[in-house]
Amino acid sequence: MTDSFVTFNLQNYIAKITDFGLAKLGPAGGQSHVTTRVIGTYGYAAPEFVATGHLYVKSDVYGFGVVLLEMLTGKQALDTDRPTGKHNLVKWAKPFLFSKGKLKTIMDAMIEDQYSPKAAWQAAQLTLKCLKPNPNFRPSMKDVLEELEVIEAILEKKLKVFSYADLKSATKNFRHDTVVGEGGFGIVYKGWLDEKTLTPVRAGFGKVVAIKKLKPDSMQGILEWQSEVYFLGMLSHPNLVKLLGYCRDDDDKLLLVYEFMPKGSLNNHLFRRNPNLEPLSWNTRLKIAIGAARALAFLHASEKQVIYRDFKASHILLDRNYNAKISDFGLAKLGPYEGQSHVTTRVMGTSGYAAPEYVATGHLYVKSDVYGFGVVLLEMLTSMRAIDANRPTGQHNLVEFDLKFV
138 CB-near residues (< 8 Å, 6+ apart): 58, 61, 62, 65, 129, 130, 131, 132
Task: Give the amino acid at 334.
Answer: L
pLDDT at res. 405: 59
**Largest Cα span, the chain:** 82
**pTM score of the predicted model:** 0.61
- CA 129, CA 393: separation in Å to the nearest integer? 56
- CA 318, CA 398: separation in Å to the nearest integer? 24
How buried is 20 (Cβ within 10 angstroms: 0-12 exposed, 13-18 middle, 19+ buried)?
A: exposed
Quote the Cα angle for 306-308-314, to 5°: 155
Q: Decide: 305 and 366 in contact? Cβ < 8 Å.
A: yes
Task: Give the amino acid at 73.
Answer: T
For the annotated binding site for ATP, the residues are 213
156 CB-near residues (< 8 Å, 6+ apart): 116, 233, 234
- CA 190, CA 208: separation in Å to the nearest integer? 7
Name all domains of the chain by residue range, CATH numbers in brackets.
34-156 (1.10.510.10), 160-259 (3.30.200.20), 264-403 (1.10.510.10)
pLDDT at res. 268: 92
pLDDT at res. 240: 97
pLDDT at res. 6: 56
User: CB 166: neighbour CB atoms within 10 A?
Assistant: 20
Instruction: Give per-10-residue mean pLDDT for the chain (406 aa).
Output: 57 77 80 81 91 92 96 94 92 94 93 81 93 94 80 64 94 94 85 94 94 77 80 90 87 88 94 82 97 97 89 96 94 83 84 90 93 94 84 78 60
- CA 269, CA 314: separation in Å to the nearest integer? 10
Quote the Cα angle for 180-308-370, to 5°: 110
Which among 3, 60, 166, 310 is annotated as catalytic? 310
Q: Which residues pair with 161 in a beta bridge?
A: 246
Residue 391, CB half-sphere, CA atoms under 13 Å: how many?
Answer: 13
Q: Which residues pair with 55 in a beta bridge?
A: 34
98 CB-near residues (< 8 Å, 6+ apart): 128
Query: Could you confirm whether 194 is annotated as catalytic?
Result: no
Residue of 295, 289, 263 whose CA lies nearest to 277: 263
Tell me, letter by letter, the H, E, C secondary structure of the chain.
CECCCCHHHECCCCCCECCCCCECCCCCCCCCCEECCCCCCCCCCCHHHHHHCEECCCHHHHHHHHHHHHHHHCCCCECCCCCCCCCEHHHHHHHHHHCHHHHHHHCCHHHCCCCCHHHHHHHHHHHHHHCCCCHHHCCCHHHHHHHHHHHHHHCCCCCEECCHHHHHHHCCCCCHHHEEEECCCEEEEEEEECCCCCCECCCCCCEEEEEEEECCCCHHHHHHHHHHHHHHHHCCCCCECCEEEEEECCCCCEEEEEECCCCCEHHHHHCCCCCCCCCCCHHHHHHHHHHHHHHHHHHHHCCCCEECCCCCHHHEEECCCCCEEECCCCCCEECCCCCCCCEECCCCCCCCCCCHHHHHHCEECCCHHHHHHHHHHHHHHHCCCCECCCCCCCCCEHHHHHCCCC
For the annotated binding site, the residues are 213
pLDDT at res. 158: 67
pLDDT at res. 275: 76
